[in-house]
Structure 1
């Protein structure tokens, strides 16, 4: 580029793209292209011009715009999203377009008809963080607009953006119109993200490394990592982001920098374990991700044979962490967080072995062995709630698998153990997870919601609790709320099991946001192609969109996984509170080709 044509300017950069544009083009290429050009000409370009913006790039379904003022950029984005929502709600419109918009204020390099620099790259990254129909802005934009606009932004924390060296403060615009609402209607976001995330530290635990020659010490390292996660999940003033995959294998392989970027947190707890003669040494370090600064480091030595010593190490580390992060625990909270519920070392050992096997079990035989070990811990320490709580989860998982001989009897065991744990002042939250599912399947909707709420309160950073609540709310007919809880579950665990995007897909389907639901269902399938639920969501969405070819592909997968699948039997098991929602689902599945 010629030097005389290159200029450096402070500018507000707006990046936008259309959600699910590829699916729209696949369904109706010519119609989508014509409709998108019409929206550009009638909605987007006039508003950019009115705010003195200049379009630098048109990328099929995306645009890149420069503004001289951050206020103009944000005001323009709000006007565009408002009008797009109105057009989407117009029943005469054949095609609905939902935009994601990101805005950044920074130095950029102008070269005649092109624009470069981190200021542009950050705007593009922010666009990917925005919800469909909404706007994400950087901290520099938020500072520049101050109180000049009536709209409210919520702080979502410092985010590590791809290929951007320093973390970026991200703010999300609230109270945006939703395309599924009626004309002029405004979707009122709940204060979930504000209430849970604002001003609270985001922390992730990197699985502790085993530096010992003995391989069996690796299981102890996993024990310490898991114990810390379980305890920290219950700290009410901390957001714990984690890896929900068995044994956290992906997290173990990541570098510290990669780990921090993947989980988008401010702080990482890492450590290692080493056997020194008859002693076990555990080193732990709390690191601030943005600058690599060590906030705290500790070293703990315990006798190898003292099993309870491992839990004392966990408790000591937790106490140091909450002190380093200046988290104020309410009176008595420290006692609730302690894992030392077992006084009998044999009960403690049996519990640990049973819990580890529960999360790693690959078949019913291993699940049954986990149940046996958990029952042994109950026998050895009958007053501890923890054994009952985890056993209730183990029995429920077996009943859910559909592979046990007497599912109803196994489910009864799960309910009994859950109730016994609650009577003993359970702090794990597991019993509420189990009872919420049981009440939901029995169509006891109020009780299901009560226990889902209790699970969230018991485990404020547990993604499973938020995902469960999302599922319950969707069946209750409150799909908009369900989406928010499902998205928060995914925020808490960027490395997640397929259940989480599958639940999000169902919630999005409930709001008739079919293209987004398809994306979420495909994400679940990519993680586990053997689960039938995401294929059913794909089939229903494509049935609603009249995408015959995609619908038939999903139906073929359903029949391959369940050759004897019957739509009537499936419908009878779906605990929807409102009949019209179930009727719509069955109608769309029939439209897709299921019977």
Structure 2
């Protein structure tokens, strides 16, 4: 008689194990462990974002379960592609590759673990897979055939150890266009994978703790297609997409990928399913806009990428003036579809009320489109557009905040020819925006950074914390908050927020990595700081912050030779570098931290 206390479930079971792990550790124990740690971070992140659950780790093996066998197999294909990219820089004989087995069967669930023949079959199938490959059972094949961009090689009935009956098995072979997407795409995938090295947990136990608890749904918005045939409308269409992003960024309980991380898909004919699995998110929002005269048609759909299914789609046929109402309707529908709790007052999503004319709203859309290009030219165009908007609506908090932000960014990125005047304008505009409510938080981001440079630490902390409460999924807000926390001496909180910023951003700028590295260093975690400082320099080999961080790290860890080597590189790339001038740019609240940095730089041989 069955035990009524035993819980049975039908599940898709994924078992992944390293091929030749003992040989690899004997050849290079430290290098292999580093590869394993990065790979486990990547695997856990992929499983979580594909709707699965990491059940447990056993040495170099991972056991996971899914409700959807299609999602499980799609996730496994994505894992193998990502790991190949992750270890592309490693010598071939030292590469750490996984074999994966997948089975669909009944399991026993007990104390957050799973047991039974269903699990055993998945583990035995793993041994039949090639290194870097996947092997599935007949039960899996029957569910996924025709639903995935892959072919399946039938290897017949297999006698598996400790399994009574033979199991019919198949090896999964990704199609060339699914695994070989060109050099640029491979580089991008490697970049996306690297974020787990600097933003992920440091230990296997921490990985298990982080990735087995409930996580918010992850979503990205692909660039919308302009079907009107008029290139002049491109900025309006793109601004419409970014306006939806600006609304979603305020919602709690959502992991929203930053807009620049999806720019590579702008001119690609790519499905939402493929894009979502490449970036490692659960949901993808994509759409198209067609304008003709005073009419606009918007088609939109929300896709569950790992499950390969559309969960919501809608078409809107309206007059052009209603496009801003459509934006708010889409935001609400996405929130409902993802079971995300809306902010207390749904009307706060509708921030167009302060932009009463069609001309003003079009200026916002065009300005956002240029601003999110993330380059000097785009920011300059956006700044002029927002200046025109503030002249039209001098009391609009959105206009003031966006104008403040573009002026501030021109100074922070070194684009402004008159930085003092631009920062003065940014400060005045941000203050006015905050006086009028600053509904999008841009004003608080700008003023927090200004107050930090002015050494008004408590004000900077309050402003940056407030900005994150409004811009909940915004990597910029989290990174600025992390930076303020770091200079205020709250290093643990700074590390947590910097990691979140990197994860939301996916394609992160070097200064975000520098904030995380500095927080690690000043909290005494020198090894982690060295890893992240090197990542900062990989993104920008000329980064002064990256070199200074690495120099102080080596000096503080008594690696004098390495510290002196980096010091020589600093003087080669920045010959006018002086310790005293550098310290002036570091607004620490605690002077002792500055003294420690100065001492480390002196010990490396850098001039006063």
> How high is the TM-score relative to the length of structure 2?
0.65
Can you list the C-alpha shifts for 1:440-488, whole angstroms capped at 9, x where unaligned? Answer: 1122221111111101101111111111111111112222221111111
Partner of 1:260: 276
Aligned 8 A contact 1:355 1:374 in 2: no
| Cα gap change, 1:543 to 1:297, in 2 (>3 Å) | same
Answering whether residue 340 of structure 2 is matched by residue 324 of structure 1, we say no
Q: Could you tell me which of 342, 363, 367 is aligned with 2:355?
A: 342
User: 1:233, 1:240 within 8 Å by CA — same for their partners in 2?
Assistant: yes
Q: Which residue of 1 aligns with 2:478?
A: 466
Question: 2:164 maps to what in 1?
Answer: none
In the alignment, does 2:261 pair up with 1:295?
Answer: no
Answer yes or no: is 1:146 the counterpart of 2:112.
yes
What SS does structure 2 have at the residue aligned with 1:496? coil
* Other-structure match for 1:310: 323
- Where does residue 333 of structure 1 map in the other structure? 346
The count of aligned residue pairs is: 463
Residue in 1 that maps onto 2:419: 407
SS, match of residue 260 in structure 2:
coil
Matched, 1:242 2:258: yes
Report the CA distance between 1:212 and its aligned residue.
Answer: 4.2
User: Cα distance 1:593–1:372, how it changes in 2: closer, same or farther (>3 A)?
Assistant: same
**Aligned partner (choices 276, 280, 291) of residue 296 of structure 2:** 280
User: How far apart are 1:550 and its partner, in Å?
Assistant: 4.6
Is contact 1:285-1:298 (8 Å) kept? yes
1:476-535 Cα shifts (integer Å, max 9, x gaps): 222222111111111212223333222222222223333322332232333333432222
**Contact 1:389 1:417 (8 Å CA) reproduced:** yes
Q: Which residue of 1 aligns with 2:63?
A: 104
In structure 2, how many angstroms separate the alpha carbons of the residues matched to 1:345 and 1:209?
22
2:391 is the counterpart of 1:355: no
Partner of 1:95: none
Per-residue Cα deviation, 1:51-75 (whole angstroms, up to 9, x for no partner): xxxxxxx9576789xxxxxxxx979
1:269 paired with 2:228, answer: no
SS in 1 for 2:219: strand
Q: How far did residue 422 of structure 1 move?
A: 1.5
2:242 to 218, 223, 226: 226
Contact 1:244 1:496 in 2 (8 A): no
* 2:552 aligned to which of 540, 546, 551: 540
Look up the match of 1:529. Answer: 541
Give the equivalent residue in structure 2 for 1:419.
Answer: 431
Runs of 5+ unmatched residues, structure 1: 1-9, 26-31, 38-57, 65-72, 78-100, 108-117, 129-139, 149-161, 180-186
Cα–Cα, structure 1 residues 242 and 410, in superposed 2: closer, same or farther, change >3 Å?
Answer: closer
Shift of 1:230: 0.9
Q: Could you say which residue in structure 2 is the equivalent of 1:378?
A: 390
What is the Cα deviation at residue 407 of structure 1? 3.5
Relative distance call for 1:576 and 1:14 in structure 2 (3 A) is farther
Secondary structure of 2:524's partner?
coil
CA contact (8 A) 2:239 2:367 kept: no
Q: Map 1:415-494 onto structure 2 (within 5 A).
A: 415-494=427-506
The CA distance in 1 between the partners of 2:364 and 2:598, in whole Å, is 44
Shift of 1:420: 1.3
2:222 to 206, 224, 246: 206
Q: Tell me if structure 2 keeps the 8 A contact 1:232–1:318.
A: yes
Whether contact under 8 Å (1:103, 1:141) holds in the other structure is no
What secondary structure does 1:461 align onto? coil
Name the structure 2 match of 1:69.
Answer: none
Counterpart in 2 of 1:114?
none
**Is the contact between residue 251 and residue 259 of structure 1 (CA under 8 Å) also seen in structure 2?**
no
- Mapped to 2, the partners of 1:16 and 1:524 lie a distance apart of 31
Preserved contact between residue 436 and residue 447 of structure 1 (Cα < 8 Å): yes
The structural deviation recorded for 1:436 is 1.3
Q: TM-score, normalised by structure 1?
A: 0.66
Q: Does 1:397 align with 2:356?
A: no
Question: 1 CA distance for matches of 2:507 and 2:32?
Answer: 30
Are the structure 2 counterparts of residues 435 and 368 from structure 1 closer, same or farther at C-alpha, using a change threshold of 3 Å? same
Segment drifting more, 275-284 vs 507-516: 275-284
Deviations, residues 331-360 of structure 1 (Å, cap 9, x unaligned): 423334444431122222333333333343
Separation of aligned partners in 1, 2:519 and 2:61? 25
8 Å contact 1:346–1:380 — kept in the other structure? no
- Partner-residue secondary structure (3-state), 1:559: helix
Counterpart check, 1:506 vs 2:518: yes
Counterpart-to-counterpart distance in 2, 1:546 and 1:506:
18
Distance 2:285 2:57 in 1: 40
Measure, in 1, the Cα distance between the counterparts of 2:443 and 2:490. Answer: 24
Unaligned runs of 5+ in 2: 1-12, 38-54, 67-75, 87-105, 115-131, 137-143, 149-195
Q: Structure 1 residue 199: deviation in Å?
A: 5.4
